Structure 1
């Protein structure tokens, strides 16, 4: 029984109310692995690279995407440690609340929910840009059709979402591999002009660094937009079968996906497509470098096929963002104490948080703003907002991991008790991610100020920072008002030192890492997980073991 004289400042942990939780663990290793790829291959790679190439040139694009890719990889290793240990809905948003600050977690969660909701709008706007390859009339219709389809898929069982992502992602993977092979052939002379391109486009006027430092800084945002979604891997942990085995497998392969799908693809784009290619990126439209390379190979039909694939990738990216945003809002509602109306914590019998889905999808009407603003310009604004929000999410993962690791060591728990350890990132990983992302967020708005100040672009780069600050203090005020009538007593000498929450406003709202419960929400394998592991072990040791090893490696 609780002590009635216990200090009011007891550590505010954000545990999921399991009585209300209604999500189903139905995503398989095969589906989660492909969801990881879906988070890294989308409109950012297929369309955003055209904007990056036009604004920063081939060298800026290669350096920025490579650097951001490395940051993302380290960030996912940090997230993988926490998501494997505590596979809960809400993922890094919950970890930020639990290990950093409840007020910070509240602000971050709502910011990331808005980020996912805006990402859906961004993807629906991108669909209009892709459709302009064939027609320029009434392109908003495709956005409406896609919106209805995405809501319907996400309103079904989570397996429907997972299966759709698996097949769409498989198509994207095959397409990127074909593009890499074709890009090499086009570069060495298999093109309409039958000429060896080599590094010629790196030596044209303005290249390889277009726009100087301002162009270089702007590419950071588009690169962050392109890699956005990888961090939502942790969000799938709440609906993944046997997450303690699945999550480490998925995270470990991210490095090779980044190297193959981004670094090689972007290198070939910069070599084959000049930064000043007509219509590559402007206020009216954005052309995919993927489509341009297929055209250079001399096949209009192949270029149309590539554009169709890009259209399906837009659908996949929107599906992924809608799923993640719905789960973030759901986790806000089922947290204890709730950080969103409890209505959003309700689920259907199939385990779908329908109210959260409808609220998230409603923000997508932003995409129809293209009726008043040019498609390319609107997509650019949305891309900036989502890109900065992604950086804030990665920064929060670094902070949460920093505090989690300190708490683990400070409380004397050995590393071998962790279900997954990214050993080579100890201890430099979290401070590296945090410091580098702070520098990125500060510098990337350079082009909106110098040489000419642009209010619209400046707002799109930095609007989320003051919003985060306002949300932070809003939570502090709400919690202050809700606890002001509670009795306060001084702790005894034997009690744990107070955190300061009971004295004044406690603006810091920092969690005490020595008092945080490191056993809460730790996942324990259930009988079904053990049975699946045993079945897989028998396959890998049986007569057809080489077949099954190849099968598991592929899927």
Structure 2
């Protein structure tokens, strides 16, 4: 039996999933919209299903546990206080968990390139999907710039001169890794994420010890940092609302595990495992670490967050043990996490831009891939935006990072909102077309009635209230723009695409064939005619449904053999952890 790890040649044609092995039924009519098939000479190549379960799980963790946790918690603590930070991170964590379950349903049923961007286009609105995809691509590209800027902030701990040079070296390294093969990216993410998790586990133990008296002053801290002047809520309602955007920045990246669905082996089995397991681990890490940070670090700590620098609360807690070496070690780990987060953002942005080209919403040359399945032009296009990070030398690392954090945080929220909208229409279409829940490869029963509306309403509320401190007590134009600039930009892109392509049948998602065009037009409601929303009665729910390959069956059999052997307890532990 061949090992699934050795199968790197299984190609995934673009999001049309036109390979017979991956489609449950062919297009029923030549008039139905279909993405172009790659030429026979593979000039446009194909993505490869080469990411294993352990890699996909770690990619989701690595993409989330990064600068938002290691550095962003310092900003949250300084601006909102320990209570605001704990409450906001808990609320956003629950919202993201429900969102992840909704995404998991669609990603398991239709594991295509483009993830929730493709689902928003297919089930909600092509025009909205166009605006969303470009917005999320910009989010990933700006995330890379944010991570490279964060690297400069981390280096300030050692008083490194000209830190922008290190950012340049890291940029070259990340582009080089992502140019090789998706497996190279996955393996690096796996080990960097493992280092992050080990560090957080150590931090939890050290944080408890520091709090009970194992610190430089040999003093029991307890909850005294919650009782200092101004705490536990700092800045009133404005400070509380502001923490939502930093929490959204910190949790951002979880939703991009759906982007890996297009390059994940055996997605029918692996995606549900990832969805069920990963976020509980992330939530556990976040709530514990945020609680310990609020207990051990006062919000008044010098340089916790300002225009020129930012000190990680993790480094502060490690240094509190009484060893400068411990603080330097933690800072070095944070630097590796910055590299990991940048690596993840570059990968995700590249795949989103590739998906845009596949959907004819970006230039066609961005579909070209190397023989190893790397969309090189999309990679370079995404990496080019990271030049923003070099503007830090003019306006200050801390200030630039703060603005970029706002942009990325709001963009993450827009992504979660879009998953809610896509899931709402997907579930409606599933019911209206009479399909049974038993036909779904994965579904979350307890969220079926209220999940999408909850996500939609809650995220809209977060987006509206988080910019409170940019309006009151003093209006800050720059901060206001960093919070809300993406909303009018998306609206303009939505209107522009709807006006130019909204009535063009070639740009509409695949629909079931109907007896006549008049019948199709007659079934469309007001929303479908004027807002370019997809008709849930006619959208094709069978196209792109995944069918297991022989390699998938081999992987399942191999797992079963491992769990029946003499050392099955060791394999159970391995599968639980990895």
| TM-score (structure 2 length as normaliser) | 0.90
TM-fit CA distance, 1:505? 11
Pick from 49, 52, 76: which aligns with 1:25? 49
Report the secondary structure of 2:386's partner residue.
helix
Residue number among 384, 395, 419 corresponding to 2:406 in the alignment: 384
Unaligned runs of 5+ in 1: 485-489
Decide which of 457, 461, 483 is 1:461's aligned counterpart: 483
State how 1:261-280 maps to structure 2 within 5 Å: 261-280=285-304
Partner Cα separation in structure 2 for residue 122 and residue 498 of structure 1: 48
2:17 aligns with none
1:232 aligned residue: 256
**1:137-536 → structure 2 map (5 Å cutoff):** 137-335=161-359, 338-479=360-501, 495-498=519-522, 506-536=529-559
> Cα distance, 1:507 vs. partner?
3.4
Deviations 1:201-232 (A, max 9, x none): 00000000000000001100000000011000
User: 2:571 corresponds to which residue?
Assistant: 548
Q: Which residue of 2 aligns with 1:487?
A: none
C-alpha separation in 2, matches of 1:493 and 1:104: 24
How far did residue 473 of structure 1 move?
1.1
Q: Deviations over 1:385-428 (max 9, x none)?
A: 00000000000000100111111111111001100011111111
Residue 491 (structure 1) shift: 8.1
Q: 1:510 to 1:481 in 2, by over 3 A?
A: closer
Distance 1:492 1:88, change over 3 A: closer
Deviation of 1:121 (Å): 0.2
Distance 2:383 2:426 in 1: 33
- Of 56, 65, 69 in structure 1, the residue corresponding to residue 80 of structure 2 is 56
**Which secondary structure does the structure 1 equivalent of 2:334 belong to?**
helix
Q: 1:290-340: CA deviations, max 9, x gaps?
A: 0000111111001100000000000000000000000000011112xx111
Alignment correspondent of 2:8: none
When residues 2 and 438 of structure 1 are mapped into structure 2, their CA distance, relative to the original with a 3 A threshold, is closer
Alpha-carbon contact 2:528-2:534 (below 8 Å) kept: no
* CA deviation string 1:460-485 (max 9, x = no partner): 0000000100110111122169679x
Residue 170 and residue 483 in structure 1: after superposition, are their counterparts in 2 closer, same or farther (change >3 A)?
A: closer
- Output one character per residue of 1:117-138: Cα deviation in whole Å (capped at 9) or x when no partner: 0000000000000000001410
Report the more deviating stretch, 131-140 or 324-333: 131-140
Q: Structure 2: any 5+ residue segments left out of the alignment? A: 1-26, 507-513
Does the aligned pair in 2 maintain the 1:113–1:329 contact within 8 Å?
yes
Name the CA distance, whole Å, in 2 between partners of 1:401 and 1:96: 8
How far 1:371 sits from its partner (Å)?
A: 1.5
Runs of 4+ aligned structure 1 residues displaced above 2 Å come to: 1-4, 14-21, 480-484, 490-501, 503-507
Q: Distance in 2 between matches of 1:275 and 1:293?
A: 13
Q: Tell me, in whole angstroms, the C-alpha distance in 2 between the residues paired with 1:256 and 1:480.
A: 40
Judged with a 3 Å threshold, the aligned counterparts in structure 2 of structure 1 residues 236 and 492 are, in CA distance, closer, same or farther, namely closer
What is the alpha-carbon distance in structure 1 between the residues aligned to residue 517 and residue 490 of structure 2? 38
For residues 230 and 265 of structure 1, do their structure 2 counterparts lie closer, same or farther at Cα, with a shift above 3 Å needed? Answer: same
Bigger shift: 421-430 or 82-91?
A: 421-430
Q: Number of aligned residue pairs: give it.
A: 541
In 2, Cα distance between equivalents of 1:108 and 1:215: 29
Match of 2:12 in 1: none
In structure 2, do the counterparts of structure 1 residues 3 and 315 end up closer, same or farther at CA, with 3 Å as the change threshold? closer
Q: Is the 8 A contact 1:73 1:254 kept in 2?
A: no
Offset at 1:32? Answer: 0.6
